[in-house]
Amino acid sequence: MMQLSDFRYSLPPELIAQEALEERAASRLLHVNTQTDPATFHDKTFSDILDLIHKDDLLIFNNTRVIPARLHGQKESGGKVEVLVERVLDDHRILAHVRANKSPKAGGLLLLEGALKAEVLGREDRLFEICFLHKRGVFELLEEYGHIPLPPYIEREDTEADKERYQTVFAQKLGAVAAPTAGLHFTDNLLQTLKDKGVATAQVTLHVGAGTFLPVSVDNLEDHVMHSEWVEVDQQVCDAVKQCKARGGKVVAVGTTSVRSLESAAKATGTLQPFTGDTKLFITPGYNFNVVDAMITNFHLSESTLLMLVSAFSGYENIKMAYEHAIAEKYRFFSYGDSMFLEKQ
């Protein structure tokens, strides 16, 4: 098994994108062609994706929608607190990460955004169960009072522009606390052009949790406990994949979240089956992909589980060289950054 240090790379801080580009599809695209030996790298713009996706292919998107999941406030004692929703449990209860000088105790009250009263019910590992003491539902309250939960490496407060820009144009199902960022590059025009070309599309749902930003804290990857995320892959998606394979097309997953959704749904039998529930699938080099043939993804953090996933997909050495190329060519990194088109090794 590989070690954590195998996935460490050095990134100049100025390459971390702090703002979204005005035009979604104006971002750059690095095509990593693993069909050559060694792999070759082609610098493109995102709209060139039209040349890489063919009419028999199937594009699979994650239709999760980001909720304004960050709330600031204080405890009864007056101490400052920041709540980041990990999962909405029902109309009034959430599981959340809480940042405070001293962790709140069960029974403790919180006043959030100067308007929301909430009670801490208890704790599950790193997460706190919190109940909002209001008649209105959680999603409605978050929509009014919450902040868009920009990732920790974006060193600014969220703005009004982020409400639209940190959301894909096909986002539907509320529940994510981080955007499926590979999808941020698509525009309605681009989707229409793909449709006109005859490219089929399907949608899965994976509600991205804040756990996606938690660092891996063990050297031996076999000891890593993966955070869980909620996934839904329905019969329609399974049928679309089957039809795509039958006509000789490629299944192209938009983002690591779509990859994890599809591979989680195929894990039990090796073939894609409808699946609804939590996944803790941890993909590292040596993993055998059952469904996905190509993927679109952004650049991922050093030592992250997502970097391990793309290394498993396109080959460890290929990804290492691709990142070196992207850094030398000054690509923009992470959520608001540029993208890659990866073929399976």
Task: Give residue 74's domain range.
Answer: 70-145
For residue 125, what pLDDT is reported? 86
Give the distance, in angstroms, between the CA of residue 12 and the centroid of all CA atoms in the same chain: 23
Q: Are residues 217 and 328 in the same domain?
A: yes
For residue 77, what pLDDT is reported? 87
In a domain, 153, yes or no: no
Amino acid found at 276: T
For residue 212, what pLDDT is reported? 83
For residue 54, what pLDDT is reported? 97
Q: Are residues 199 and 335 in the same domain?
A: yes
Give the residue from 118, 145, 172 where a domain finishes. 145
Exposed / middle / buried, residue 99 (Cβ in 10 Å: 0-12, 13-18, 19+) = exposed
Q: Are residues 51 and 83 in the same domain?
A: no
Q: Are residues 196 and 306 in the same domain?
A: yes
Q: Are residues 117 and 244 in the same domain?
A: no
Amino acid found at 12: P
Q: Are residues 61 and 89 in the same domain?
A: no
In a domain, 302, yes or no: yes
Distance from first CA to last CA of the chain, Å, rounded?
19
Q: Give 10-residue mean pLDDT values along the chain (345 residues).
A: 94 98 97 94 98 97 97 94 95 96 94 98 94 97 97 95 97 96 98 97 96 88 93 98 98 98 96 97 96 98 97 98 98 98 96
In a domain, 151, yes or no: no
In a domain, 154, yes or no: no
Q: Are residues 33 and 171 in the same domain?
A: yes
In a domain, 232, yes or no: yes
Number of domains making up the chain = 2
Give the residue from 81, 113, 145 where a domain finishes. 145
What's the chain's length in residues?
Answer: 345
Query: 273: domain CATH number?
Result: 3.40.1780.10
Q: Are residues 223 and 302 in the same domain?
A: yes
Q: Are residues 202 and 171 in the same domain?
A: yes
Q: Are residues 211 and 263 in the same domain?
A: yes
In a domain, 152, yes or no: no
Instruction: Report the alpha-carbon distance of residue 118 to residue 101 in Å, rounded.
Output: 18
In a domain, 150, yes or no: no
Amino acid found at 245: K
Q: Are residues 101 and 200 in the same domain?
A: no
Q: Are residues 123 and 169 in the same domain?
A: no
For residue 213, what pLDDT is reported? 82
Query: 93: domain CATH number?
Result: 2.40.10.240
